Amino acid sequence: GAVVSQHPSWVICKSGTSVKIECRSLDFQATTMFWYRQFPKQSLMLMATSNEGSKATYEQGVEKDKFLINHASLTLSTLTVTSAHPEDSSFYICSARWGEVTEAFFGQGTRLTVV
């Protein structure tokens, strides 16, 4: 299958700072990338969908000004958690696909802890 690399795998930051998470498709051009979040004992929840060169589409209840998504190239999407607070501590994971192909490939995820 195709390879998606997500970085960093874990990060600890102070409350009020911003954190950037990168998601790269290594061997294909990702026209669409998805960002998910998972709280303990919960399922992966879709946060937003980004298409290359377009603004991201956010799911209901996800603050677009807090979770900035940039998908400027066909191989890179970034999620920036701005002014992070302890309640933003979670597991964030991206997936990517090309064209209208149904299958999407996942990164390894990022464990964010805000202290």
Partner 1 sequence: ILNVEQSPQSLHVQEGDSTNFTCSFPSSNFYALHWYRWETAKSPEALFVMTLNGDEKKKGRISATLNTKEGYSYLYIKGSQPEDSATYLCAWGGADGLTFGKGTHLIIQP
Q: For partner 1, what does the binding mask look like between residues 96 and 115, x meaning CB under 8 A?
A: ----x-xxxxxxxx------
CB of 34 to partner 1, least distance (A): 5
CB of 15 to partner 1, least distance (A): 26
DSSP state of 16: T
In the numeric block, the tokens 């303990």 are attached to 40
Question: Environment class of residue 19 by beta-carbon count within 10 Å: exposed (0-12), middle (13-18) or buried (19+)?
Answer: buried
Q: How far apart are CA 114 and CA 26, in angstroms?
A: 29
CB of 103 to partner 1, least distance (A): 5
Binding site for partner 1 (CB under 8 A): 1, 4, 6, 9, 34, 36, 41-46, 49, 59, 93, 95, 100, 102-109
